[in-house]
Amino acid sequence: MSKFDNNEETEVNRDPEADAVQDSGMELPAEEIDALIHSLKRYLREEFDQESSDLKAKLLLNYIWEEIAPFAYNAGVSDAQAYLRSRVEEVPDTCFRDGLTYWRKH
């Protein structure tokens, strides 16, 4: 066991900006990072019977955030683009008004 292995789940006072996980403009607040670290530690413990320190879980979180999260982010952006395109295509059907209709009514 190294000096970084500390299995106690304690909250640490920290600067939220210095602790934010970020890459390419994606950022998480400190309270979400704490929750993710706790979740990763629990997952490792329950699924792999592996205890982990906060530092190790944070390093794993940083790796996932930089290497894997952009794929999920990009998929979300693509889904949003497709949704917005479909909504924009409906605009003429829902908002379009014919002109020169006066003489049709009279």
Q: Which two tokens stand for residue 54?
A: 């906060």
Strand, helix or coil at 26? strand
C-alpha pair distances (Å), 5 with each of 1, 33, 94, 97: 6, 18, 61, 68
* pLDDT of res. 61: 96
- Tell me the DSSP string of 1-20: --TT-----------HHHH-
SS3 46: helix
Residue 56 falls inside a structural domain: yes
**Is residue 2 a part of any domain in this protein?**
no
Looking at residue 92, its pLDDT comes to 84
Residue 21's pLDDT is 61
Instruction: Tell whether 72 is covered by a domain.
Output: yes
Residue at 40 is within a domain? yes
Q: Is there a domain that residue 8 lies in?
A: no
Quick check: is 103 in a domain?
A: no
| Parent domain of 85 | 16-97
Q: Residue 5 contacts by C-beta under 8 Å, 6 or more apart in sequence?
A: 51, 52, 53, 56
Q: Give a yes or no: residue 7 inside a domain.
A: no
Give me the tens of pLDDT residue by residue for the chain, a chain 106 residues long.
443 344 444 444 444 444 556 555 678 899 999 999 999 999 999 999 999 999 999 999 999 999 999 999 999 999 999 999 999 998 888 888 888 888 988 8
Structural domain includes residue 90: yes
Domain count, the chain: 1
- Would you state the pLDDT for residue 97? 84
| 26 backbone dihedrals φ, ψ, rounded to 5° | -90, 135
In the prediction, which pLDDT does 106 show?
Answer: 81
